[in-house]
Amino acid sequence: MTLDRPADSFFARLDRTHVPMIVARLVLGGLFIKMGVSKLDHPVKFLKDIREYGLLPEATFFDGLNLINLTAVALPWIEILCGLLLIVGLWLRGSSLVLGLMLAFFTTAIFWRAVGVYNAGGIAFCEIEFDCGCGAGPIVICYKLAENLSLLGMCVIALLSRSRKLAVESLPVRVSGTSSGVSV
């Protein structure tokens, strides 16, 4: 008697091709490295962009450090690090989770800022254009929201995929110098 395996879903079969994960890793990794470097190239502009959202307190902590300045310094490096980790293939789930959470927060903030501009009157929602702070300059908000939702979908793919093709974390690890001669 043989037990039949339940039919695999379309998504499981697609995941076994490794294509969605590789595409998600390369697109997300490359884009976040590019955007992080762009923010590092223009730190004062990025700091001003963060301030425009009004989401972080201006209060000063620990010897003159405030949350806005800390965010402006740390965020580009986090984006670059997560992008590199995705491309190389290390800590794929962790880096895609961090980027996904950041994208969810950024997308929500961009949406509410656009709603504020829309409520001020005189312009259709999809004609609203401003520099969202991502490093790409002024952009039409409907395009930016669609782009961010697509990137968020790629983060979900990277988070849920079992594929580790072309990832450093899938390489076998050898520990030399063990007394038993066993490779791990």
User: Which pLDDT tens digit goes with each residue over 109-164?
Assistant: 999 999 999 999 888 999 999 888 887 888 999 999 999 999 999 999 999 988 88
Distance CA 177, CA 77 (A): 36
Residue 96 · residue 153 · CB < 8 Å: no
Phi, psi for residue 53 in degrees, rounded to 5: -75, -25
Q: Helix H segments across the chain? A: 10-16, 19-41, 43-53, 67-88, 92-120, 141-160
Lowest mean pLDDT across 76-80, 158-162, 180-184: 180-184
Question: Where is pLDDT greater, at 136 or 31?
Answer: 31
Provide the pLDDT confidence category of residue 105 given band limits of 50, 70 and 90.
very high
Secondary structure (3-state) at 130: strand
pLDDT tens-digit profile of 151-161? 999 999 999 98
Contact call for residues 46 and 72 (beta carbons, < 8 A): yes
Q: What is the pLDDT of residue 184?
A: 47
Report pLDDT digits (tens) over 39-66: 999 999 999 999 888 888 877 776 667 8
Checking if the pLDDT of 24 tops 70, the result is yes
The model's pTM is 0.83
Q: Which amino acid is at 62?
A: F
Cα distances (Å, whole numbers) of residue 86 to 18, 74, 91, 149: 14, 18, 8, 18
Using CA atoms, how far apart are residues 11 and 6, in angstroms rounded to an integer? 14
Confidence of residue 77 (pLDDT cuts 50, 70, 90): very high
Beta carbons of 56 and 68 less than 8 angstroms apart: yes
The stretch 61-80 carries a mean pLDDT of 86
pLDDT of 114 reads 93
- Alpha-carbon Rg for the chain, nearest whole angstrom, is 21
- Higher pLDDT residue, 7 or 160? 160
Q: How far apart are the C-alpha atoms of 35 and 131, rounded to whole Å? A: 13
